[in-house]
Amino acid sequence: MGEPHGIGIVGLGVISAQYLETLGSHPGIRIAAAADLDASRAAAVAERFEGCRALSVADLAADPAVETVLNLTIPAAHAEVAHIALDAGKNVFGEKPLAPNVSEARGILDAAGSSWVGCAPDTVLGTGVQTARAAVDDGEIGRPVAAVATWISPGHEAWHPHPDFYYREGGGPLLDMGPYYLTTLFHLLGPVARVSGASSRPRSMRRIGSGPRAGEEIPVEVDTHVTGTLEHVGGAVSTVTFSFDGAATDAAPIEVHGETGTLSLPDPNMFDGTVRLRRPGGGEWTSLEDRAGYAQAGRGIGLLDSLVPGGRRTDGAIALHVLEIMTSLLTSAREGRRIELTTTAERPALVPLTPQQQWSSR
């Protein structure tokens, strides 16, 4: 990477701790600036990292020491912060989703110019998803014909002290958790041509279960149970369910079925885990050894991957396509019709098996 790459972090909420753990000690990265609506949070990060300054968002984007803006704000602010950064000629790597809607997401990519835009989730670059991708690409399940993805919980208000944004535009189980599962399906099976969806909103209010606001009720402005089918360009059909309205599920997070075998994947919200293979005939599940992906990775690996030759596997075009899949599922549910997608993206190259000591010392 040469000289350390200067980044400025905007938004220092819960998720920022994981990014700082990955990026804060990496020799190829320098935390040059931090910004947050809570000035004390930015000051704490500035004190923690040598040479880092607590700045406003505008001043952070204009700072010549900042080359890439790490956008960890809430979904409703993703587009605004991205535009501020891009207008200043900076690259942007942001949390998912890219924006609350496709129009705003397209605007981000259109404004990029010579800068690059990357977007979470980068969990898909870990050994769990990448090992499954390698198995699919190597023909170990034959021609893929179907996949099933399931995520069910009682809702984030049970643990998050400020869960309001999960129940506003840009939130809900689909836009919050869907990117992990749908981006994984994209890496495994390629882009989607059309979708059909159904959804519901059983409750209009939710009660916060922890923190200083415990017991407070908040309004629900989005559907909280979403299911649908994705018709991939390559012919496979995926069935997906995302819900804040169930206690739990015992289903595998993702299964991919092919003509000669089935893969069971670990949680795509994590970077690693065991991929299992089963073939027809009633045999046992076989655990696959890691054969691809960044080993022992953490959040921020997508930004690091964007800085190396052959990287940028979390390109904004993928995030835009996944966002259109999600918003089209909701449109289909609302209007009762099948939706043809207008976006697509190229499957990125497989991540070679990369031990932690290699990627963490570049």
Q: With cut-offs at 50, 70 and 90, classify the pLDDT of residue 285.
A: very high
pLDDT of residue 269: 97
Q: What is the pLDDT of residues 37-69, one digit of tens each?
A: 999 999 999 999 999 999 999 999 999 999 999
> Alpha helix (H) ranges present in the chain?
16-23, 39-48, 57-62, 78-87, 102-110, 127-137, 172-189, 301-306, 316-335, 356-359
Q: How far is Cα 107 from Cα 228, in angstroms, rounded to an integer?
A: 27
Both tokens assigned to 169: 């535009």
Edge-to-edge strands of the sheet including 225-232? 286-288, 275-278, 261-265, 254-258, 144-152, 237-243, 225-232, 192-200, 339-340
Q: With cut-offs at 50, 70 and 90, classify the pLDDT of residue 170.
A: confident
pLDDT of residue 362: 79
Residue 112 has pLDDT above 70, yes or no: yes
Q: What is the pLDDT of residues 235-279, one digit of tens each?
A: 999 999 999 999 999 999 999 999 999 999 999 999 999 999 999
End-to-end CA distance of the chain: 7
pTM metric for this prediction: 0.95
Q: What is the pLDDT of residues 286-313, one digit of tens each?
A: 999 999 999 999 999 999 999 999 999 9
Q: How far is Cα 147 from Cα 230, in angstroms, rounded to an integer?
A: 9
Spans of all domains in the chain: 5-119, 123-340
pLDDT of residue 281: 84
Note whether 166 and 223 are within 8 A (CB): no
pLDDT of residue 169: 82
pLDDT of residue 67: 98
What CATH number should be reported for the domain whose range is 5-119?
3.40.50.720
DSSP codes of every residue in 244-268? SSSS---S-SEEEEETTEEEEE--T
Fold match, 5-119 / 123-340? no
Q: How far is Cα 138 from Cα 127, in angstroms, rounded to an integer?
A: 16
pLDDT of residue 97: 93
Both tokens assigned to 192: 């989607």
The answer as to CATH 3.30.360.10 being correct for domain 123-340 is yes
Q: How far is Cα 285 from Cα 263, in angstroms, rounded to an integer?
A: 9
Q: Cis omega before residue 97 (within 30°)?
A: yes
Note whether 213 and 162 are within 8 A (CB): yes
pLDDT of residue 89: 98
